[in-house]
Amino acid sequence: MTFALPDPSTEFGARVARRLREDMIAWVTSVDRAGTPQPAPVWFLWEDDAILFYSKPDAKRLDRLKANPRTSVNLNDEGLGRDVLVLTGSLTREDGIAPAHLHEAFTAKYGKLSTDSFGTHETFSELYSVPLVFHPERLRGH
């Protein structure tokens, strides 16, 4: 199944494209062995019709991913529930992707925040060393 964003010439499509490009935090939700959703905030990059983020190598989501790659990604609303975006799809580990500190677009988006939060972008990259890519299949929102 091929995923496509809504038409960017529409208000909704333009908002989706802008938020995927500009929002700083997304919530990635995987499901544990008991079937309980486990949401986690992540820094993310919309690139090539997919969402890239980096994980700690000991994150429990990596084990959950092996058992069930089905995942959702939610973007925060404006606080009143009027700007909700939820993507559903699958999450894969993709070790061929450059580390965060060498990924030009990721560094452009998060370099200053990374330096402010971790001292250096390289430190963030060492801590969050596992590249994960979310491949959306559906989008819902309003």
Confidence at residue 142, expressed as pLDDT on a 0 to 100 scale: 78
CATH number of the CATH domain containing 89: 2.30.110.10
What is the amino acid identity at position 72? S
4 is a domain residue: no
**Stretch 102-111: mean pLDDT, rounded?**
95
Range of the domain at 69: 11-139
Residue positions counted in the chain: 142
Q: 16-23: long-range contacts (C-beta < 8 A, 24 or more apart)?
A: 16/85, 16/139, 16/141, 19/75, 19/83, 19/85, 20/46, 20/51, 20/75, 21/46, 23/75, 23/76
Q: What is the pLDDT of residues 4-60, one digit of tens each?
A: 899 999 999 999 999 999 999 999 999 998 999 999 999 999 998 999 999 999 999
69 is a domain residue: yes
Q: What share of the chain is helix, strand, coil (3-state, %, to 5)?
A: 30, 35, 35
Q: Report the C-alpha gap between 109 and 103 in whole angstroms.
A: 10
| Closest to 111 measured CA to CA, from 20, 56, 45 | 45
74 is a domain residue: yes
Confidence at residue 77, expressed as pLDDT on a 0 to 100 scale: 80
Confidence at residue 81, expressed as pLDDT on a 0 to 100 scale: 72
44 is a domain residue: yes
1 is a domain residue: no
Domains: count for the chain: 1
Confidence at residue 138, expressed as pLDDT on a 0 to 100 scale: 96
Vertex 131, ends 17 and 52: CA angle to 5°?
0
Kindly indicate the confidence band of residue 1, based on its pLDDT and cuts at 50, 70 and 90. Answer: low
65 is a domain residue: yes
Q: What is the pLDDT of residues 52-84, one digit of tens each?
A: 999 999 999 999 998 999 999 999 887 777 788
Segment (H or E) for 46 = strand 45-47
